[in-house]
Amino acid sequence: MNFQLPRTISIILIILILVITSLAVYTISLETQKALKGAVQDKLITVATITSSQIDADEFAQIREGEENTPRFIRIRDQLQQSIKSSSNIRYIYTLRKTGDRIIFVVDGDYGYDQKAARIGTVYLEPDPEMIQGFSSPTATTDFTRDNWGVVLSGYAPIRDDKGRVVGIVGVDMDSSVAIALINQANLVIFIIGIIAMLAALFGILAIENRRAIFDKKLEESEKKYRDLVEMLPQTIFELDNDGKIISANRIALETFGFTREEFQGGVNGMEMLAPKDRMRAAGNIQKMVMGEKIGGIEYTAQRNDGSTFPAIIYADPIKCDNTPCGIRGVLIDITERKQTEEELERRVRERTKELADTVMQLEAEVLHRKEAEESLNLAHQELQSLYEQLKANDEVLKDNFTQITKSQKTLEQVRKKLNLLNMVTFQDIQNAVFTLSGYLSIMKLDAPDKKMDQFLEKSEALSKKISETLNFAKNYQDMGMRPPRWQNVSHVFTTAISHLPPLDMSRTINVRNLEIFADPLLEFTFYSLVKNVLDHASGVTEISLRTEDNPGGITIIFEDNGPGIPAGRKMEIFEHDFGKNSGLGLLFCRETLSITGITIAETGEPGKGARFEISVPEGSYRFREP
């Protein structure tokens, strides 16, 4: 018994130490898991909240199915990708919205990077309660959940528009393997610590404290990454204590409000960053938040350190320590540009309203005028009624007249054909006679007895030539408009036209870019007449050119020479009959032929610097063809 009692006491002590150590290890394990999971949940909520504040809610609300390649979809997708890259251990970031009783994906941060990424409108099956709660406030799941993308721990935060309305949520997932690895690692360490504690309680306690120090260091590193992410954001991020003093602010806050880091550390009241007129209202809103009321984004007038102000929207939520409010955390967004845009829109609305008011007055005056007109129309209607009876009586007479007119038109068409045939035969007979007369005159010149007779013969020969040219003009003028207009290549027609003239002792330049115009088939004779006019009237010409110029109403074809030009007072006369030494019939014909399809011609050259004819072709009457 003397030996068994100490052994029993030792066994009891060992059992007590084992039980106490096991209970301590179990308790520490549970607390460690809870702390790890709490830290992960806080991180998920923080990342989801920050990411949701960066999303333009108005653009997000406009995204519809099939818009995966639109600029606003890509812009939000890239913001989600940036958040994934900026946050360690985060696997997925995505956005959701409610559609009736369903919850659907909108922008998946992995769309375009992962084939498993959800498209717009993909239904999220069996949403957990925390996801549904995320449409009202930031939250995170307490346990791991399984979906099509794996086993994850998730955090959610609402996306609110300018009026505080929730248009969707941001979801942030951490792969279970990461969190479980941390928990397993902690459990392993605690188990080892427990074994060591059973051997030596002191070393066990020291090991536990050392492990907690390592965990605190990791937590500090995690907080540092969070602070770095906050520093990168383009919006002002701040935290206030219960006294309203700023305890934390990012870099953009210092730049926006003109404070130094030392001034913040010295103690700056958050109310000093608002204009005096808004401070009382802000204090009331803070009180409401502390009481648990969700107030969303509130617009204030922010005030910089130098006293200048700007419009801003503040989104804020209370910071809780052991479920007790211990401060305020928020985001301040500068909306100066948006305000300027709204003011510009209001100005345009006012201007448009005034225009509409003027239009209404004009319409009222027109309505009054129409009432007067209606009265006049009523009187006229009675007169028209009586005229209708008279017209009805004359209808039979008109029908008989129409029948007679139809018969007369057919008769006129037959007469016109016979007249054309007569003209053709007459022109041929006269031309044959003129040709024969010219031959006789040429023979008589050879046997002329004296110079005086030779002069008479030359004049007779000139008159014979003029008669022939006049007959040709009359023949062409008769054919004008007889055949329908057609599309013609200007360069080809011009080249063909000058081929009918004697060899030209002058250079020529053609630059009309494969232009085609819709004109009468006698367009070739038009260009022929222009070049012949140069040969007949412009002595000393060494160069002619044909080119185009664009104008607002169509295109202009310009024919120029470097001759003496046309006097200013005679620019219109050259297109009239009996002008010049050769009767001017060619230019008259040019104007009449071109006018059939709405084309005009005018002489615009400067006297002494050559003639310049501008042929203006309207829209729809020209085109360019490939070579």
The pTM (predicted TM-score) of the whole model is 0.33
The rounded distance, in Å, linking the Cα atoms of 275 and 263 is 19
**Cα separation, 309 vs 315, whole angstroms:** 18
H or E segment and range at residue 246: strand 246-249
Bridge pairing between strands 139-140 and 145-147: unpaired
Question: Would residue 343 count as lying in a domain?
Answer: no
Distance CA 150, CA 589 (A): 88
**Residue 248: closest CA among 235, 233, 232, 230:** 230
Residues 52 and 181 in one domain: yes
- Answer yes or no: do 560 and 411 share one domain: no
Q: Two tokens at 626?
A: 């490939």
- Domain stops at, among 203, 227, 251: 227
Q: How many CB atoms lie within 10 A of CB 190?
A: 24
CATH of the domain at 603: 3.30.565.10
Q: Are residues 552 and 604 located together in one domain of the fold?
A: yes
| Beta carbons within 10 angstroms of residue 305's beta carbon | 15
Are 498 and 535 within 8 A, CB to CB? no
Q: Name the DSSP class of 605.
A: P
Do 468 and 502 reside in the same domain of the chain?
A: no
Per-residue burial over 116-126, b = 16 or more CB atoms within 10 Å of its CB, e = otherwise: ebbebebebee
pLDDT of the residue at 472? 61
Residues 612 and 502 in one domain: yes
Let me know if residue 344 belongs to a domain. Answer: no
Residue 397 is part of which domain span? 355-479
Placement of tokens 């188990």 in the chain = 191
**Which CA distances in Å does 145 have to 126, 133, 406?**
11, 15, 92
What is the four-CA torsion angle of 64, 70, 74, 76, rounded to 10 degrees?
-40
- Three state DSSP letters for 474-534: HHHHHHCCCCCCEEEEHHHHHHHHHCCCCCCCCEEEEECCCEEEEECCCHHHHHHHHHHHH
In a domain, 339, yes or no: no
Residue 24 belongs to a domain: yes
- Residue 128 falls inside a structural domain: yes
Evaluate whether 331 touches 315 at the Cβ level (below 8 Å).
Answer: yes
Residues 193 and 68 in one domain: yes
pLDDT at 617: 95
Same-domain status, 436 and 564: no
* 428/302 same-domain check: no
Which among 68, 245, 269, 60 has a CA at the least distance from the CA of 170?
Answer: 60
What CATH number corresponds to the domain at position 94? 3.30.450.20
Element (H, E) at 398: helix 336-446
Closest CA to 155 of 175, 176, 138, 140: 140
* 225-234: long-range contacts, CB 8 A cutoff, minimum separation 24: 225/87, 225/88, 226/43, 226/46, 228/86, 229/47, 229/50, 229/86, 229/87, 230/50, 232/86, 233/50, 233/54
Nearest to 475 by CA among 423, 417, 437: 423
Region class of 140: left (phi > 0), else alpha (psi between -120 and 50), else beta: beta
Residue linked to tokens 């502390």: 290
Q: Which among 479, 513, 528 is the end of a domain?
A: 479
> Can you count the helices (H) and strands (E) in the chain?
14, 19
Cα–Cα dist 440/76, whole Å: 98
Residue 195 lies in a domain: yes
Are 92 and 109 found together in one domain?
A: yes
Residue 150 β-bridge partners:
147
Residues 316 and 433 in one domain: no
Domain count along the chain: 4
Cβ distance 48 to 157 under 8 Å?
Answer: yes
Residues 238 and 385 in one domain: no
Whether residue 46 is contained in a domain is answered as yes
Tell me, yes or no, whether 537 lies in a domain: yes
Extract the residue ranges of the chain whose pLDDT is less than 50.
Answer: 1-5, 415, 579-584
Among 162, 193, 227, identify where a domain stops.
227
| 210 and 80 in a common domain | yes
Please state whether beta strands 166-175 and 515-519 pair in parallel, antiparallel, or not at all (unpaired). Answer: unpaired
Q: Are 247 and 327 in contact (CB under 8 A)?
A: yes
Provide the pairing of β-strand 102-108 with 92-99.
antiparallel
Which tokens is 183 given? 């928990």
Q: What is the pLDDT of residue 10?
A: 58
